[in-house]
Structure 1
Amino acid sequence: MKVILSTVSRRVRSPCGQVLSYRLLRRLGAESWAQDLLDAVYLDDETQVWPDAMDAPAEDHGERTLDSNGSQLFAGDTVVLIKDLDVKGASFVAKRGTAVRGISLTNNPEHIEGRVNGTRIVIISAFVKKSN
C-alpha cells in the first residue's frame, strides 16, 4: 500500500494518511499542481475502496426533511414561513410569509438552516412550506 507522491510518498505510510492525501488532492483538482500530483498517485485496490466509499452518495435511511405539507425539502430550495417565529438570541421576530431562499439541510431532518433578515438561523421544518 503505497501512495506515490513525489515527496509526500516518503512521509505517508499508513493507509489512513494515504487516503487523506488522495482525497485532499482530489478536492484541489482544479489546481494544476494538485492535478499533477494526483496523476502520480497509486492506491492499491484494497485502499482505493475507502475514498470511493466516502465520495459515494449517502444511502437514504428514510430520514427526509419534510415541510408542513409533507413535501420533501432539498438543499437550495425556497420556503415560506407559515407562522411568526421568535428568533432566540436575536432581537427580531421572523414574520409569517417571509421567504427563506437557498436553505441548507442539517443532520436533523426536523431542522433546516436559512437566512432571515441577514441572520443565519435554524428553523423547524414544520413551520415552513415549500415555495413553488
Structure 2
Amino acid sequence: MSDIPACPVCGMEHTYPDGEVYICPDCGHEWPQHAVAQEESRQVVRDVHGNVLQNGDSVIVIKDLKVKGASIPLKQGTVIRGIRLIDGDAEHIEGHSDKIKDLVLKVCFLKKA
C-alpha cells in the first residue's frame, strides 16, 4: 500500500508526488506535501461519547457545573452554540451560553447536540 494520500478534492487515489507537491491527474488539484503532515498531526477533539467536535458545533452540558467568576452555575442541559476549538488542546473548548459569556469547558462534561 502506498504512503501517497488520496486527493482531498475528488477522493481518487491516483495522486503522485512532483517535487514538493502532490498532483491529482483526475481533477488537476495540487497541494503541498507538508500540508498532509500538518493535518495528520492535528489533535482530534471528542465529546464524552466519542463524537468528533469541530468549530461551530453545538454541545450540551451533561451535568451541573460551577463556573469560576460567576454567581450562577451552568445547569445540565444547557446548550453551548458555536464552539471554538483551542489549538493544541484536545481537552478544552471555548464557547458562550445565554447567561454566561467567554466559557472554557472540558469536553468530558459535554455531548454533541
User: Structure 2 length as normaliser, TM-score?
Assistant: 0.62
Instruction: Please provide the CA RMSD for this pair.
Output: 2.0
Asked if 1:79 corresponds to 2:79, the answer is: no
Per residue, is there more helix in 1 or in 2?
A: 1
Q: Select 1:109's aligned residue among 84, 87, 90.
A: 90
Partners of 1:66 and 1:77 in 2: CA distance: 12
Matched AA of 1:87: V
Asked if 1:70 corresponds to 2:47, the answer is: no
For residue 127 of structure 1, what is the aligned residue in structure 2? 109
For residue 72 of structure 2, what is the aligned residue in structure 1? 92
Partners of 2:72 and 2:92 in 1: CA distance: 20
Q: Select 1:61's aligned residue among 41, 44, 60.
A: 41
Provide the identity percentage.
43
Task: Measure how far apart 1:77 and its partner are.
Answer: 0.2
Q: List per-residue Cα deviations over 1:39-78 (Å, max 9, x = no partner).
A: xxxxxxxxxxxxx98xx58423262110000000000000
Partners of 1:127 and 1:119 in 2: CA distance: 17
The number of aligned residues is: 78
Task: Measure how far apart 1:89 and its partner are.
Answer: 1.6
Q: After TM superposition, which residue ranges in structure 1, 4 or more long, deviate above 4 angstroms?
A: none
Matched AA of 2:83: I
Specify every segment of 5 or more residues in structure 1 that has no aligned partner in the other structure, as ranges: 1-51
Per residue, is there more strand in 1 or in 2?
A: 2
